[in-house]
Amino acid sequence: MRKALTIGAGAGVFVLVAALMAGATSPHVTQPRRIHVIEHAASDTVIDTDQSGTDTTGDLLTFHNSIYDAADATHVGRDQGDCIRINVARGTWECRWVTWVGDGSITVEGPFYDTHDSVLAITGGTGEFRNVRGSMLLKARSGGTEYDFIFSVQP
């Protein structure tokens, strides 16, 4: 019985060490990096939560859109997320979403303004972006049918 436990414990330690080594050697961000992509806001849908027929606090915006390179020529990923209308008069929403690009994803959260650019916080990532922090500049293009996502990622 002791021999079986010893062998089992040894195997468990081996698996744990192998998993840690694999995680340590997989690609991740090692220096500050700027990533510029363009979202085509084709699926944006506003849900009138109080069914008033007007834009009111608490309305919900959901989306799942295609992401293109900075030249707006090549499809490089996708996003999905939601925003809650905070203040109609000030034109503010509070948003959170995930953008999949490259070999991972970047999650952001922060304000979206109807009439000007905003900066959102990078709250995490997966894959090659699993260790990132930083910010994302959000800029409207083409009358709000496209958006520049300019990520400033830090390891």
How do the pLDDT tens digits run along the chain, 155 residues long?
Answer: 555 544 554 545 454 444 444 445 568 999 999 999 999 999 999 999 999 999 999 999 999 999 999 999 999 999 999 999 999 999 999 999 999 999 999 999 999 999 999 999 999 999 999 999 999 999 999 999 999 999 999 99
Give the pLDDT of residue 120.
98
Give the pLDDT of residue 15.
45
Tell me the helices (H) and strands (E) count for the chain, helix number first: 1, 10
Q: Which two tokens stand for residue 45?
A: 């849908």
CATH number of 31-154: 2.40.480.10
Domain limits, the chain: 31-154
Q: Which two tokens stand for residue 55?
A: 């834009």
pTM score, whole prediction:
0.82
Please tell me the number of Cα atoms within 13 Å of 96 on its side-chain side. 5
